[in-house]
Structure formats: C-alpha cells, structure tokens
Amino acid sequence: MAARSGITVIAGVRTGLRDAWDEAVRLFANVTFGVSLLAVWALLTLIGVVIDQGKDASFYANAYAPPIARLIARLDLWNVYHSPGYIAIIGMILLSMTAATFTKVIPRRIPRLSPVKIEAIPLHAFVRAAGEPDAVRERIAAFFAARGWNIRKRAFGGDEWTFADKNNWARRGVLVAHVGFVLIAAGTTVYWATGYSGTFAVVSGQTAAIPQNGASVELRRFGYRIDPIRTKAGIVYQPIDYVSEAVVTGRDGVPRAETIRVNHPINVDGTLVYQATYGFAIDFRLTHDGRLVAGGPTRPLMEGDAFPIPGTTRAIQYQRFVGTIDRATGTIGPDPRPNDPGVVIAAFDGDRPIGNALVPLGRRIALGAGYALEPARYTLYSGFEYRHDPGIPLVGLGAFVLLAGLCISLYFLPARLFVVVRPLAAGASEIGVAATTVRGYDVFEDRFRELVEALRRETPEPATEGAAPRLVAGV
Amino acid sequence: MDPTRELLDQTLLKIAIASYVTGALTLVAYFLARRPALRAIGLPLAVLGGGVQLVELAVRWWMTGVWPLTNLYGSLSLFSACGALIFAFFAYRYDLALAGGPVLSVCAIALSYATIWNEGTMPAVPALQSYWIKIHVPIVIAAYASFMVAFCVSLLYLFKDAVERRYGTRPPVVRGAAAAAGGSAAGITVSAYAVQPTLTTIGTGTPARRPGETALSDAAAAGDPIAQWLAGLPSLGRLDVMQYRIIAVGLPLLSLGIITGAMWAKEAWGAYWQWDPKETAALVSWIVYAAYMHLHTRPDWKGRRTAWIGVLGFATIVFCYLGVNIWISGLHSYKM
C-alpha cells in the first residue's frame, strides 16, 4: 500500500515536472517574451552607457546627487556589464533563442501541399485564358518555372493543383542567425575559460614579463610624434604616431627585435601585444636638510605612483606630466611635448589630500619639516596590453553566420503560389492564383502584382465575351 | 588647404546644401499637391545633393591625402549623402517620393550642422590610422542613414494612421456617386487621388481593410477634400512594408558595422569588445531593431506599434551617433 502510494506520488511529481518544463519551454519560446528580454537587455546596456562604469564610490558621490549615487551603489549600476543580472539576462536570451529554435524554427516545415480557397487568401487573382485546362496548366507551369519557381502538381477531388515555391531554403535563415549567436556566446565562453589579458608598462631600457606565458619585452626606445596643427579654433596638438622599439623573447628563448605600433600588435607565442599608452617616468629626489633620504623613491615613477615620506604620515603622488609650463603665467601650457617640462604632484596626509603643486623639472619644492622634493629628469615609458583569446575564431565564425542568417531571413522571402485552372467554357479556362509568404501579404504585394501582370501578358485571352480579368475585392 | 582648393570644397558643399534644401521644399510641395512635375524635380535634386557630397569628400581626400571620415564633419557629410541616395533608390524603386520632404530636410540639417565641426584638415590620430576606417565607418554611416530614411517613413505611417483613426471615429458619411455605383461597397478603392495603385485595380485581392481606412475612403468618395488628399497617400500596409524594407537594409549594415568595428578594436585595443559607450550604444540600437524584426512577424504588433519602434530605434541611433560622440567621452570621441 505504502509502495503504491509512493509510486503514485512519484508519477504525480513527474507529471508536475513535465508540465512545468513544457510551460517553461512555451514561455521561453514565445516571441513576445524573447523581445521583452531584449528590451531589458537594451535598457541595462543603456544604463551602462549613460553611467560611467568601473569608477570608485567617490566618483559617483561627486558626479551625482546623493540619492542617485546611493541608487547606483545599491543596484551595482557602476558595474552593469559584469553584474549577475546582466549575465542572467544574456543567458535567458540564449535560452529563449534555443527554445524558439527547437520548438518553432526547426519544426517549421514547408507547408503541406493542399488545396486552398483561392479567394480567401488576401493576395489572389483570377485570369481568363484561351485553351483547355490541361494545356493552360502546362503553360502556367512553364511560366512559373521560367521565373525560378519550383513546381509541383497534385490532384485533389478532380482539380489538379499546381504549387510553386520559391526560396523555401530561406526558411532556415532564422535558425542560421540563432546559431551565429550561440557560436559567439561559445567563443566568449572559451575566452573566459582559457584566455587571459592584462596590461604592463616598461620604462625605456627596462624589461617586463607577461606572467601567463613567461614572454619578456625589453623596451629599447619609445618614440612619439605630436604635430601642432592650425585649425579654425586655434592650434591643436595632434598625436600622429606612437612607436615602441622592443626586444621580445618568447618560449623559444630567442630574442627578436620588434616594432609595436597602434593598430599593429605583435604575436608572442599566441598572445598579442598591443601598443596602448605612453608616459613620462620621473626620477624624484627626496632630500631632508639637503641630504638624500634613503627611504625615498628608488626607481622612476609613472603617473599615479606615490611614495611615503619616511617618518611621517604623509605621502606624495606623481599625478601627471606637464610638457610645457607657461613661464609668464606659471600655468600649464597647451603643448604636451616636453619643451619646458614639469610635474603635478599631490600631497596626502593619510588618505586626506592636503594640496598639490606644479613643479618644473630640476626645481626643488619644500615639503615642510626640512623635506624637499625635486623631479630630476624624465624617461619615456610605454604601456602595453596583452591578450590571449583562443575563442576568437569561434566568435568570428559566429559573427559571419549571424550576418549570413540575417541576410537570408531579410533578403530571401519564402513564398508559395497556389494555382488552380478550371474550365470556363469551350476553349477557355480560368486561372486562379493565390500567394502566401512567411512574412504576410503586404511584403509580397508588388511582386505578386508584377507576376499577375506578366501572366496576363503572356496568356492568350479567350476570344469570347468577358475576356477581361475578373475584379476581385479581396476578403 | 590652399585657397583655390578650399573654394572648390566650399562650392561643392554649397551645391549639396542647396540641392537638399530645394529638393526638400519641392518634395514637401509634392506631398501636399501631388503634382508629378514636383516629384520629377525633387528626386533628381536628392541624387544631385548626394552625388555632389560624395564628390566633395573624394576631392577633400584627393587634395589633402587624409581620409575624410576621421571626424564628425566627414561622417555627417557621408550620413547626408547616404541618406539622400538611399532615399532616392527607394523613391525610384518603390515610389516613396512622398517621404522626401523630411528625409532631405534631415540631410540639409545634418550637413549644415556638420559645417560647425569642420575645423579644416587634420591628420588622423594613431588609433584611426588603419585600413579598417575605410571599411567600418562607411558601413556604419550607411546603416545610420538607412534608419533615418526608415524613421521618416515611420512618421508618415504614424501621421496617416492617426488621421485614419480620426476618420474611423467620425459618424459615417453619406456616400457620393462613386460609392453609389458600388465601388466602395464592394471594397474597391475609390479615390480622386488614387496615385498608389492597389492590387484591387488589377483584379487581385488586398488584405482586409481597417475601419479607419474604410471611413477615409467613404469620406473621400463623399467629396471630403482632406479625405481625398489623405486617401492618395500610400496605404498603411504599403508604408509598413517600406519601413520594413529600409530597416532590412539598415540592420545587416549595422550588424556588419559592429562586426567590422569589433575586428578593428581587436587590432587596435586588444579586445573585440571593450564596453566602450559607442559600441554599447550601437548594441542598444541593434537590439531595438532586432526586436523590431521579431515583432514585425507578429500580426498584433505589425503596423502602428512597429512604427513606434522605428521611431525609438532612430532615437537610439541619434544618441549613439551624436550623443555619445559629443557628450560622453570614450574611445570613440573623435569630434574634430
């Protein structure tokens, strides 16, 4: 008894699960539901465009009113694209596409060859033709076949029907587009699972390594070209070229001279290295009562680097390099090239900013309590990005397939013509033609009109009264 | 540029703007009066404007050696030219001249606005020194231009739809002689402005007519001059198909633009997708138009709702094209 009730319960659970599964598949395969997911995706993406992404909390506190800043923090709107919600939406869209593909797109076969009520189909026409039905039927079949229609004939209840199909293969366009999406998602997943990326900067004359593959990049020289261009608004200093001359050593241990430019990455053992940025590293001399401080900076600092002042709670940050200081005003000039260079430094007491200053290179600035700082000289450094992405071939293939699917769906309209020829009088027949397409009737109206006009032109009219085509008003 | 070359550049620019303005006025007059002569003047002006602008961009390239699409001026110029030429293609192929007024007005405004950003010739920044700029930018701009033309057709659709609905809510009119002859009662289009032939006139059926459409036909048959004018506009079904066809040009172009942009980004920045505001805004536009395509397959969405989606889609395009370039800084901020 207990065993039987257990079986009943299991069967009930199974039925319930199957019903829930069917309901879920129906929901996810629903076009309106899929489009709703697309709408949410678009909205979240738009939020990410409007709100700066990846900044720290103080940025939002300064940039937005307090309630909005709080909202951004609470809803993780500062990191929309990597939030669980965003990834979940993309996952649900993929599920929706999969459900629609398996329940709607793949099962959608070519419609059965069966007779229709010609006048019940909005796109229809009746044309009178000279000749017995069999002869007219042959002419009609030849007419449509000559225009690329695939002809099949079937007899139903004494009437012989001619079915003409075009672009039936294009019914698979949506499937192809969906497959493209899945391939892109697969390629992205491959990168997440096995790829890596990162950035590094190298001061001229020094070497840096890519930790994931052990390759090393020694920067021999970094060069840039910035030209002053006269425009209607005044002089603009336009960057023209950034070039890193480097020696790269890969897995084989053989050093190779390489030139790395923007848009021209180099390949080191399957990892691409890109020219990303550049800057001016500064040798700072920290002194106390005129003597060099042992705990001061020991290497050239890059923009954003900071160092503590030994024995105090204070720190100095090198904020940015200034190419040209206007000597007359002591302010920052527009020319970024190092004509009369200086640096902007900021002082902090703990985390609290206590001031900043523009200091010309080679000049000393007093920091108080006997300390002084001198930005002594600059050295160019080059910033690189590296990326190993084994998913790229899949993503590329997916993009191609997606585009192909779009073009198939949009430019090849699967259509079917239903043609029936019936005797009208001796030596006269009436041709009934109706058309259906996968995209409704309006989209085929022009083409159908052209076909009917051509049919009328090429079909000899019966030499009897009432040879004019029958006017039909539609449904 | 030396003064002679600049004069040639400016002359071509003025010819293009004059063509757009005159073409827009002529086609607005055609929209109102439906005189074929106005159409015959307006459409060649659209072709002339677009053609002259392409020549202007080519001349600029030839004279300076700098690809002209590295700034907002160049891209807006190409946008206007593509808009005018895509419109002209659809106008000749599908008889869409009635939408020419708004299309050419947008072209004229875009080109005039572009001149604000014309700071002369500047060499490209390193990121733009790539063969991809000659592939990616024209494709994306052509997509934007397609969506602009589709947007103008959406406006025409919504205008006609609103008027038809208004007629649909009016009390029935007493039909005139044409209706008495059985035309309207039999469902055959009867209009003094029957500029757009319907299938009915060649003996084929048309999809079921909306109540507003019938009311408009009845009012036209009863001699209402406004109804007669409105009845001469393309049917809502036809406008919907036009909008669909133009978006069907724009969406693959936008897809190809995003794909080529990703390929370029991979070469320049190391990743094919950086979540840069420009590319994410383009993704938003793509999603909106993808939603349009999906909903256009649904009979309950096709028509007024998809026309509104066309309007929304173009709003996202404007945001992506100008809003992101001008107001949001990112990797695509090439204003000058």
Instruction: Give the three-state DSSP class for A296.
Output: coil
Strands, E, within A19-123: which ranges? none
Residue that the structure tokens 């970024």 belong to:
A336
B101-138 burial code (b ≥16 CB/10 A, e <16) = bbbbbbbbbbbeebeebbbbbbbbebbbbbebbebbbb
| Closest residue in A to B284 (Cα–Cα) | A42
Assess B302–A contact: CB distance below 8 Å, yes or no. Answer: yes
User: Could you tell me the residue ranges of all domains in chain A?
Assistant: 2-105, 118-167+413-458, 282-371
Could you say which of B203, B281, B297 has the minimum Cβ distance to residue A470? B203
Closest residue to A410, CB basis, from B204, B238, B248? B248
Number of other CB atoms surrounding residue A148 within 10 Å: 9
Tokens of B270: 């190391």
Q: Can you tell me whether residue A365 is helix, strand or coil? A: strand
pLDDT tens, chain A, 475 aa long: 566 777 888 888 888 899 999 999 999 999 899 999 999 999 998 888 888 888 888 888 888 888 888 888 888 888 888 888 899 999 999 999 889 888 887 766 667 888 889 988 989 999 988 888 889 999 999 999 999 999 999 988 888 899 999 998 888 888 899 899 889 989 989 988 999 989 999 999 999 999 998 999 999 999 989 888 887 777 888 888 899 999 999 999 999 999 999 889 999 999 999 998 899 999 999 999 989 988 889 899 999 999 999 888 999 999 999 999 988 888 898 888 999 999 999 999 988 988 899 999 999 999 888 899 999 999 999 999 999 999 999 999 999 999 999 999 899 999 999 999 988 877 888 999 999 988 888 888 889 999 999 998 888 877 655 444 443 433 2
Please name the member of A39, A236, A410 whose beta carbon is closest to the beta carbon of B252.
Answer: A410
Q: B296 CB near a chain A CB, below 8 Å?
A: yes
Can you state the angle between helices B236-268 and B277-295, rounded to 10 degrees?
Answer: 150
Please name the member of B122, B132, B302 whose beta carbon is closest to the beta carbon of A236. B122
Tokens of A129: 């033709």
Nearest residue to A377 via CA among A365, A363, A367, A366? A363
Among A417, A224, A425, which residue's Cα sits nearest to residue A321?
A224
Lowest mean pLDDT among A215-224, A306-315, B180-189, B218-227: B180-189
Could you tell me the end-to-end alpha-carbon distance of chain B, in angstroms, rounded to an integer?
16
* 8 Å CB contact between A188 and A395: yes
Domain with CATH 1.20.120 in chain B: 1-123
Taking the Cβ of residue A233 and every Cβ of chain B, the question of whether any pair is shorter than 8 Å is answered with yes
Helix (H, G, I), strand (E, B) or coil at A109: coil
- Token pair for A104: 């709607």
Residue with tokens 């950035």: A199
Residue A456: closest CA among A130, A32, A83: A130
Contact A38 B188 (CB under 8 A): no
Under a CB-based contact definition with an 8 Å cutoff, are residues B230 and B195 in contact? no
A309's CB contacts (< 8 A; 6+ apart) are: A286, A293, A315, A316, A367, A371
Element (H, E) at B165: helix B133-169
Range A118-167+413-458 has CATH code 3.30.460.80: no
Listed by number, the residues of chain A in 148-187 with a beta carbon closer than 8 Å to a beta carbon of chain B are: none
Phi, psi of A179, rounded to the nearest 5 degrees: -60, -40
Contacts of B241 in chain A (CB under 8 A): 442-443, 445
Decide if A240 touches B, using CB distance below 8 A: yes
Q: How far is CA B130 from CA B37, B127, B143, B261, B267, in A?
A: 46, 7, 21, 12, 9
Q: Does B322 touch chain A (CB under 8 A)?
A: no
Mutate to test the interface with A, among B121, B199, B300 (most CBs of A within 10 A): B199
CATH 1.20.120, applies to B1-123: yes
In chain B, the residue whose alpha carbon lies closest to the alpha carbon of A97 is B294
pTM score of the predicted model: 0.82
At residue A317's C-alpha, the angle toward residues A316 and A322, to 5°, is 120
The answer to whether B173 touches B224, Cβ cutoff 8 Å, is yes
Whether the CB-CB separation of A334 and A237 falls below 8 Å is answered with yes
Nearest to B267 among A230, A265, A453 (CB): A265
* B252/A272 touch (CB, cutoff 8 Å), yes or no: no
